[in-house]
Chain A
Amino acid sequence: MKVLELASYVLGLSSGYHDSAVALLKDGEIVSALQEERFSRIKQDAGFPAHALRACLAQAGIGLDDVATIYYYENPVKKLRRIWSTFCNFGMPGYANFVAEMPAWLSNKVHVKRNLRRALTQHFGAAAAAPQIAYIDHHESHAAAAFFPSPYQDAAVLCIDGVGEQATTSAWVGEGQRLTKLWEIRFPHSLGLLYSAFTYFCGFKVDSGEYKLMGLAPYGRPVYRQQIYDHLIDVKDDGSFWLDMAYFDYAVGDAMTNDKFAALFGGARREPESPLTRREFDLAASVQVVLEEVLLKIAASVQRLSGKDRLCMAGGVALNCVANGKLLASGIFKQIWVQPASSDSGGALGAALAGWHTRQAQPRATPRGDSMKASLLGTSYDDAAVAAALADCGAVASRLSDAAMLSTVADLLSQGNVVGWFQDRMEFGPRALGSRSILGDARNTKMQSVMNLKIKNRESFRPFAPVVLAEHVADWFDLGCASPYMLFVVGVQAHQRHALSAHEQALSGLEALKCQRSTIPAVTHVDYSARVQTVGADSSVRLRKLLEAFYAQTGCPVLVNTSFNVRGEPIVESPLDAYRCFMRTQMDYLVVGNYLIDKQQQPALAQDCDWRIEYALD
């Protein structure tokens, strides 16, 4: 008699701070991972991920009672211990926050299991048998998210973020289904928080403006580098570091930096949205250089200690693609794999994977390549659902065959149109990788400013990323390996660059944007760098076919690929989100599945409100 074996499901969950998310494993295979922000339309939503969980279960066709265990991505008891000891360590300056925070911590925040059970009952009913809940340490969640989905059976693992329970930086060795911690650096000494402190000081939002600081760095010179080393951070030869907390306020205060920090860098922090000055350019360049130098030292010592020649990375700092590019170029490790959802949303995935492999001692599968499924782990909409959604919106759309749609869109792009592109399953993580993207022609000299100012409504200095057919990457970029998750910044190939006149070379700050630096100016940053995404021949995403069609028409295998949203808005999740975003911006065309939507033919959007009111600036 044949015994029917039931599949085993475990769920990872992150919530409470930022980037709430869920991830579902079926017999160890990642079947779904979703961020709550995409459904709630609140950027980096910290709330209980009810919508994401519902969608996750629906995708798998199961109920909550089919889930054996929920693994939460950090340990609140350990976190409370760290907060308590921090208040003890910092004394009187922490008084106000102690009185404000500790009651909430003791009465509510530390009781995560109780709170999760209540939320599950509230959203899924008392009848839904709540699975057991277990905690995974924050950095173990990151380490698991970095190693277990990677293509390696053994590797060194490096996690760098702001802070978890106590660790801010940790190194591990991953072998098969085991993760062994080598060392850690503890709060308040944190590379992530050092970078966030400069983000704050330069007038950007902490936890989201770090991308902007990274993009700003090439406009400046690292003139504050030595000052940072002399006053803020002590770095040993092995890359371990210690921050002088006399300059920072984040440990027990409400701000990231204090007056002493301001005095060191020539006065008060830049007011958000005020004009950028030379100081912010140089501060960004300086802290970026320090981050890269410390990262290279840490990587070298991890390599020595672990003896491994492959590295996996996660944690918010692993999203610093410029530093990742330098690390890749250094050759310290032969291969590097970075978890595409490296911030706390990826913690949900890591918690599930750590629970499955290390707590339940389940072996890893050995797939060819990584097991992230191109990070396309979210919701999808079939043709009928798209048609119904567009009809509900009142959209005027025409349905094209696959071939006609691809050649038409390639043609529209080559004519300088900006196209919203909604296909396949939604991406998990902060990057749009071709499922919820806005696309443009990388050769177009006006595309960068059009996309920044008229489409995305964001700051003019921010660069755009290229997506390129993998087999052509070496002809356009200084990259010798695949980069499917857009996590490495490399140089544009020398033969694609344009020589600048003496006058152009003398331009500084945002004036530098006026130069056409390469054959693909829309994706070439002012230092000739680009954050490359490669799409391989084995990729099943429709973007691959579109790139092929564009290449066939133009001889250029590169497009601009940016996330489908406006400033402050989470990436679109549904066809309705896509249509609203399309109608509110100056995008020219929208493609949802096989439906082509021309802006010129659309009726005015009913009951619309200004996106600037709906979404707070990031």
Chain B
Amino acid sequence: MELNKNILKYGSIFLVLLILFSTIYYSINRIDNYVFIKTYAEYRLYNPSQSFDLYLIMNGDNLNYLYNEFTNNPLVEILTEDGEKILTSGYLTSPRNNGRYVLVSLEINSHFMFAYDKLKFNKIKLYSNNLKGEKTSKIYDIGELVLINEYDSDLDSNINVRVNDQYSDKPYISIGDIITIDSIDEYLETDIVDTMVDGKDYHDLLGKKFGYENLFIDFKVKDKDSLIFLDRKINYTIDNGIDDSGKNSFSLYFDRKLEDVFSNYQENTIKEYLRKVGEF
């Protein structure tokens, strides 16, 4: 019986220490999250038709622990470090099953961004003013977003992807770029896009559709060999759940080889990847 009590005593002490350590670790670690967001944002930079519009899609699900979930549809303001406001062209939030909102996409008009010094918008803080209907007027800091001006970036890591949607009047739909984040988005309301390359299934490519206009594809690359075909034409079939004949087909054309981006690619681990992109 004494042994049992000792196990309970020392076990409980260990547990309390573990909880304290985890909480402190989490609280400190949050500060570094901007690297994560930066990486995420950077690989979702989209430059259609060489215009100056930067289209940024953030997967609210992957960032949901960085961001607060909002009781109301949030009002998003983007502020530079100097406190200057950058105008957004628009943003999209997604209501969840639990009635809360998560920021899904954010469109930043680079016409406004280029008006500022590049150093200023290398760090952008996102604030959500969650005011309406709330008793308190708390301003939630929903994260720090670090963008690299693609014209000043040595990384040259932006990949332009153009999509021809043969069933749509629109010339293209926006597509997110490479992401190797290994996450399970099982509760995200998305359609999974089957990936076929020359009639062959590639299960390590997954596409996700956010509404009709926003399709982006997560490239979960298992090994370097699977990158080889990415410079070729890839047919995607989006299953709308109607029937086989009702499927929409999209053809993707990559402007440049993804292999170039991953030339130093070694391991498909998010940590390695973050480190690589984080050094700029």
A and B pair up: no
Residues of chain B touching chain A, judged by Cβ–Cβ distance below 8 Å, are: none
